[in-house]
Chains A and B, each alone.
Chain A
């Protein structure tokens, strides 16, 4: 297979920045997104939101300009201008984003100027976000929306206390994701740091603007490229962390956040110790039943880089061995390796890694393993493709079309570790 041939296969994460903007808009309940594109562009984005989130509709907060050949010839910026000026008063959003499909970016209309001219004339801020499909993926688009929201925070006001969490990947209003938010707040409050805002978390825009109250910015890995700019913009200490997943990862996160907030280490260790004392005995019952030192359980894992590193480290901490890891996002292999090295409490055996693989590559790699892994973690797509192998599976990350959160089960934090252990036990037992 040639490189070019390889490029053509459909990928699990073919989503571009455009979808990232949509997903991020979905995570701000009073935001709207204007998609300047063709009729089919609706389907590219809306379809995935509908399948991924059962609880919160989003179509009324996506407004499409539906460009056809006539409006393209006349100049599509005119249509964009009309649509934004008509629909902002109609929907009355707190913030609006404008993203154009790639073919309209190429057409060379003055979209920047069109959006700039609306500034101050409409009831809400309007941000243009360039989302060319030629580079980047959905995480880049998602991050650009966060950047726009951060720029609207009145950082000149004096901070009070606590932290802002920036770069949380909130993709649906279901109980599993809400449990993650609760867990982030519980952890922070456990070390006496109230959470002032989480970008993004399903909070309305005005709530996000309350971020000026936070004294420290905690930037999660998917938003790491924003950290320096945020530090300058906010004038507040800003620290980049890994994801708080698993026992070791969560403890490391608390220590790093505490240090950034200049908390005494002893106070953090007391909280961490108490949490480990609560959770470890339960997890130990699983570890001692699922394998032995010379006959360990194996796993294959597919997710975006930051989550893949955190999950792989947790599973390694649970005495499981990776046999294959696929990174669904683009160009973050180094981020994964560095994060994994920080998060793993003990050396981890070498394993094959696939970067932004095509679906066929994933299938082939799984079939090529001399022994099927004992556990498979991935998004809906990999799990479906691997279904004939009948491997016990956990659906994690995005998209999650089959697993939906009806009851709170977090992934993050110490409670997330316990919940994951529960899911692993159910998968191995084949009883749910």
Chain B
């Protein structure tokens, strides 16, 4: 187990505040498995989860199945709020969800409304659990007490990784067992209470960007060469089974330990080894990542040669890109924008969203960081403190309002902005190239993609060729 200086940070200080109901619900929406979610509030509160398509149409993203049809809403009526009838409604809603979905577990999310009226969700869930024979987990959530995105991810991971305890408690409470076992439940019940020997439980990647198939192939290939195995990516490929199996992992590689204090404590209690490994963004970072990972594999030394060959091949591919007539990236002025991310993608939020900086450094770009944040001295000090803890030595600008990003981009004389999709209008306004935050990819195979992506935005791709027509 290892913690370096960055874990002294309080993760999420440079990110957006969050409603815990939306945060936990969103993470459940992206999780596979046999469960139902009941939102206890007004009818509107189910709307964050009526997402039926992933936002992007990219082929690797299109495979994601969103679980929106497993979400239920009590949709409390006014008289129920006033007269306390919400409890009956919640109980009926849980019964309905159990009858329709036959879930292994039900999560009940509180809302601002249920918090405001002091609804005793725990009591109702206990009643429902005893009646239905499945764990019904009350989650005190809502928007009135703001949380950071990392806090919610940590809470979510800890909740699902310790689910066996919840299940055991439920089975003791159950009056009758109305829910049949499913195919996955047997495997989940066999979870050991402590780590397995060596790497037999495989390597779990925690908090990294979700790997595309070819990136996953690279990680799997490197591990297999050293006698290891990629067991899971969390929370990027979230499922109840994968979270349950986390405590049986042979090794957990963690992108940003400051992100997961509760979850790492759980792993430590269960004696699961974990290791901080900065995300493999860029060739050098990938080499460090694999090198340290291989140290923990049974045949790590035997795989050194393979790693060296991967490094050499990646460098060669990168150099060959200069021959296709693309615009050089060395000296490119890049605005790296953080603080606007509203999602719960741990791979993007890790290290305050600065995890992809090494890609730009390696390509010789001149980077400045633009942070959606208040512009007063206290806010600037907070930014500087986080930069110091992360070892980031870069100039930065704070901008308070997403509507003025364009002004800041002009003032900085940037040629390319790396920022969230929803800020692209501001980028187009000033007529510079835009690369979507999260478009840069990990690993050796990712670095070639990264260089191509930047060059495409500047010159060789559609947006590079027709950029002047995209200005508004």
Contact = CB atoms under 8 A, between A and B. Distances in A.
A43 interface: yes
A44 B92 contact: no
B53 A380 contact: yes
A87 to B, nearest CB: 9
A44 B47 contact: yes
A91 B53 CA distance: 32
Interface residues of A, number: 54
B21 interface: yes
Contacts of A10: 46, 49-50, 68-69, 71-73
A253 interface: no
A185 B241 CA distance: 57
Contacts of B112: 38, 40, 101, 103
Interface stretch (A12-20, A109-117, A255-263, A285-293): A12-20
Contacts of A42: 342
Interface stretch (B94-102, B279-287, B430-438): B94-102
Interface stretch (B36-44, B131-139, B192-200): B36-44
A18 B47 CA distance: 11
Give the interface size bracket for B toward A: 35 or more
A7 interface: yes
Contacts of B68: 10
A278 B95 CA distance: 57
A5 B100 CA distance: 9
B74 interface: yes
Contacts of A401: 52-53
Contacts of A103: 42, 111-113, 116
Interface stretch (A66-74, A199-207, A228-236): A66-74
B93 A44 contact: no
A428 interface: no
A407 interface: no
Interface in A54-80: 57, 59-60, 66-69, 72
B270 interface: no
B44 A90 contact: no
B69 A385 contact: yes
Interface in A169-224: none
Contacts of A133: 42-44, 75
B51 interface: yes
A60 B143 CA distance: 21
A384 B78 contact: no
B48 A47 contact: yes
A41 B93 contact: no
Nearest to B340: A59
B142 A38 contact: yes
A41 B143 contact: yes
B47 A102 contact: no
Given A19-B44, A102-B113, A134-B78, A8 B52 contact: no
A4 B48 contact: no
Contact of A43 (B48, B77, B113): B48
Interface in B1-53: 17-19, 21-22, 26, 38, 42-53
Given A134-B78, A380-B53, A38 B425 contact: no
A134 B17 CA distance: 27
Nearest to A60: B403
A57 B93 contact: no
Contacts of A44: 44-45, 47-48
A1 B97 CA distance: 10
A211 B29 CA distance: 45
Contacts of B143: 37-41, 67-68
Which of the listed residues B43, B48, B113 has the most CB atoms from chain A within 10 Å of its own CB? B43
Nearest to B80: A134
Contacts of A107: 116
A359 B26 CA distance: 19
A45 interface: yes
A69 B49 CA distance: 24
B271 interface: no
A106 B116 contact: yes
Q: Which 4 A-B pairs have the closest CB atoms?
A: A40-B19, A38-B143, A5-B96, A8-B93
Interface of A: 1-2, 4-10, 12, 14-16, 18-19, 37-45, 47-48, 50-51, 57, 59-60, 66-69, 72, 90-91, 101-103, 106-107, 132-134, 359-360, 380-381, 384-385, 401-402
8 contacts: A8-B97, A18-B44, A40-B142, A43-B342, A67-B144, A69-B144, A69-B145, A380-B52
Given A5-B99, A51-B51, 17 more contacts: A5-B100, A8-B38, A8-B92, A8-B97, A10-B50, A14-B43, A40-B143, A44-B48, A45-B47, A50-B55, A66-B146, A69-B145, A103-B116, A106-B116, A360-B69, A380-B52, A385-B69
